[in-house]
Every structure is written in structure tokens, then in C-alpha cells.
Structure 1
Amino acid sequence: MSTPIVGLLVGMALGLAAALGGFGAFLLVAALGAVGFLAGRYFDGDLDLSELFSSRGRRR
């Protein structure tokens, strides 16, 4: 699926959540979407979580 189509679907889901559930539902859908995005990047191998959680003293 292309990036514009995914963006369209995400925008529609956020709009639907905002229209039906209000601002709280909008924030919940946005947060879960971000978690899903990061999980997808991690499982595809595009995101290395050790870079995020390693201490700065170990980096060179």
C-alpha cells in the first residue's frame, strides 16, 4: 500500500474518531496509531530500539 493511501486512511480514522467520540477519542486513536507505526517499523527492521534506550555515555 502506498504512503498517500495509508495517510488517507489514518486521516479518515482520526476524523471519524473526532466526530464520533470527541477530542479524547481523537487523542486515543492518534496515540495508538503512533504505537502501531513504531511497532511496524520495529518488526520491519527499520527501527533499532537499542539506540533509543542506550545511555549517552556509551555512544562514540
Structure 2
Amino acid sequence: MRSMALVGLLAGMGLGFAAYFGGFGAFLLVAALGAVGFLAGRYADGDLEPGELFRGRGESRGERRR
């Protein structure tokens, strides 16, 4: 299994290439699609539920804000 440092290095290099060859717009597009891909992968692995993205830090599943 790859370490998170290696994954971060590869992601940074990919963003750097996108910025160098495609400009700032390409950099933002690659970063946004990378984030979407990361969240989709976490969801597919079962590590993330869709509602967790919109809940506050202190809230659990059964609690509500007052």
C-alpha cells in the first residue's frame, strides 16, 4: 500500500503540471475534479456518508442544532 506522503507528492506533481501547461484555470479544474474523485472514493469504500459533508463538527447523527 502506498503511503499518504507518496499520494500527496503525486497529487502535487499532477497539479503542478496542470498549472504549468494549462494555466490557472486548468489547475483549478484538476484540483476540483481531484476533490470530487477523492470524495467518491471515500463514499465507495464506505468511509463517508453523504450527510456527513453537511453536518457541523459537533453534531452526531441523531442531534439537531437549536
TM over 0.5: yes
Q: Tell me the amino acid that sits aligned with residue 40 of structure 2.
A: A
Cα offset for 1:52? 3.9
**Unpaired stretches in structure 2, ≥5 consecutive residues:** 56-60
Query: How far apart, CA to CA, are the structure 2 residues paired with 1:2 and 1:32?
Result: 22
Taking only aligned residues, the RMSD between alpha carbons, in angstroms, comes to: 2.0
Q: Percent identity?
A: 72
Q: Tell me the amino acid that sits aligned with residue 11 of structure 1.
A: G
Query: Please, which moves more after superposition, 42-51 or 3-12?
Result: 42-51
Q: TM-score, normalised by structure 1?
A: 0.83
Where relative contact order (Cα < 8 A, 6+ residues apart) is larger, the structure is: 1
Q: Tell me the amino acid that sits aligned with residue 31 of structure 1.
A: A
In structure 2, the residue matched to 1:31 is 32
Q: TM-score, normalised by structure 2?
A: 0.76
**Unpaired stretches in structure 1, ≥5 consecutive residues:** none
**Pair 1:47–1:17, CA change in 2 (3 A):** same
Q: Tell me the amino acid that sits aligned with residue 22 of structure 1.
A: G
